[in-house]
Amino acid sequence: MATANNATVTKELRIAVVGAGLMGADHVIRIENRIVGATVSAIVEPDEARAQAALGTAPNAAWYKNIEDAIAADAMDAVLIATPGQFHEPVLIPAIAAGLPILCEKPLAPDAEISLRIVEAEIASGKQLVQVGFMRRFDAEYAALRELIASQDKGELLGLHCKHRNPSVPDSYHNDMLIFDSVVHEIDVVRFLADSPIKSVEVKHFKRNSKSPAGLQEPILVLLETESEVLATVEMNVSVGFGYQVKTEAVFESGIADIGRAAGMEIAYDGQLITQEHASFKTRFAAAYDAQIQRWVRAVEKGTIDGPSAWDGYLAAAAVEAGLEALKTGTKVQAKYQAKPSFYKSAN
Ligand code: ISE
């Protein structure tokens, strides 16, 4: 659009944020304060108290109780879904049918069957509309490690040691969530780093932490094997108390690389070296979330996506299914995948 004095006015992308819980509220603040070229135009949230809290941080936004009403009111140009995975499909299907670009938080859906339905809806729309929020791919250290692996500079990648530690989990968190809510990040990022699909999953149990919530059998050790025969060990530990840690050590033929060490000020005092640890994924991955959303906004302007696709979401869901069976049976379970549709072949 050109103004009278010929200055160019760029239109801001109007984003509807669906779900104003922990993650959604964080994304609203992020878009309003740190993302260039976008604004939150709608909060889609059935709970009034949550919606009002989010509206307090998004001056241009209107409140809708469901996605259908927001679509009918033409309230947005794009959708960011930040509800838990089991609520994604009923939002994704109408948003895809309306031709809206979507950034959907992980996991795309709770299982492979639902993920395939979403993939089919996207193919039927004729356009890649869905990007999945595996934000670790946008973390600078993960990106650097992927480049190091691809360069073969330190020889072939032999294995990965991944440590995923949460200070605590909410009461609603249960055993299966260790795999579909938490390990799903490693399932995606191990494939991303090794550039090879997950072939099998096996789950072992560490000695149970007496501080874990009742009913939770953890920490667990998950073994992910890729088709390229890279073995990844994943310590999934959600009751560490002291802070939030996500670290990966890569073992090469001629070297070791380590990412995720605590950064920032180190204090030497009274015979100790003290560095502050993150308290939550909101700060540990803040820069990655910013980069993910900024790049998505730019991609939407060009009518594309810039990150993991719905097909990547499906591949993760299929490997998660193997992981859930491995958790239940104690055996090594092979992941099963459908053939990649030609629609996604030329895509990232
Ligand atoms: C949570 O849903 C996340 O996605 C966090 O990144 C992860 O660390 C945590 O374990 C999950 O519950």
Helix-helix angle 286-301:22-34, to 10 degrees = 70
Homologous superfamily (CATH) for 2-135: NAD(P)-binding Rossmann-like Domain (3.40.50.720)
298 CB-contact burial (10 Å; exposed 0-12 / middle 13-18 / buried 19+): middle
Atom of ligand 1 nearest to the CA of 106: 4
284 CB-contact burial (10 Å; exposed 0-12 / middle 13-18 / buried 19+): buried
Determine if ligand 1 sits within 6 Å of the CB of residue 181.
yes
Strands 266-269 and 272-275, bridge-based pairing: antiparallel
pLDDT band per the 50, 70, 90 thresholds, residue 135:
very high
Q: Cα of 104 to ligand 1 centre, how many Å?
A: 15
- Percentage of the chain beyond pLDDT 70 is 96
Q: Tell which residue, 48, 258, 277, 301, has the closest CA to residue 154.
A: 258
Which tokens belong to 37?
């070229």
Q: Cα of 135 to ligand 1 centre, how many Å?
A: 11
Q: Cα of 163 to ligand 1 centre, how many Å?
A: 13
At residue 8, does pLDDT exceed 60?
no
CATH 3.10.20.600 fits 136-285+308-344, yes or no: no
Which tokens belong to 4?
């009278």
Q: Which value, in Å, is the radius of gyration of the alpha carbons in the chain?
A: 21
Distance between CA atoms of residues 75 and 55, nearest Å: 14
| Ligand 1, atom 3, residue with closest C-alpha | 182
User: pLDDT at position 263, please?
Assistant: 84
Distance between CA atoms of residues 291 and 199, nearest Å: 30
- Percentage of the chain beyond pLDDT 90 is 95
Please write the tens of the pLDDT for every residue from 282-331. Answer: 999 999 999 999 999 999 999 999 999 999 999 999 999 999 999 999 99
User: pLDDT at position 104, please?
Assistant: 98
Determine if ligand 1 sits within 6 Å of the CB of residue 245.
no
At residue 48, does pLDDT exceed 70?
yes
pTM of the model: 0.94
Residue 274 pairs in a beta bridge with 267
The answer to whether 160 and 335 are in contact (CB under 8 A) is no
Distance between CA atoms of residues 346 and 166, nearest Å: 37
Q: What is the DSSP letter of 279?
A: S
What are the domain boundaries of the chain? 2-135, 136-285+308-344
Q: Cα of 181 to ligand 1 centre, how many Å?
A: 6
Determine if ligand 1 sits within 6 Å of the CB of residue 281.
yes
Please write the tens of the pLDDT for every residue from 91-129. Answer: 999 999 999 999 999 999 999 999 999 999 999 999 999
Distance between CA atoms of residues 314 and 317, nearest Å: 5
∠ CA 276-209-110, rounded to 5°: 85
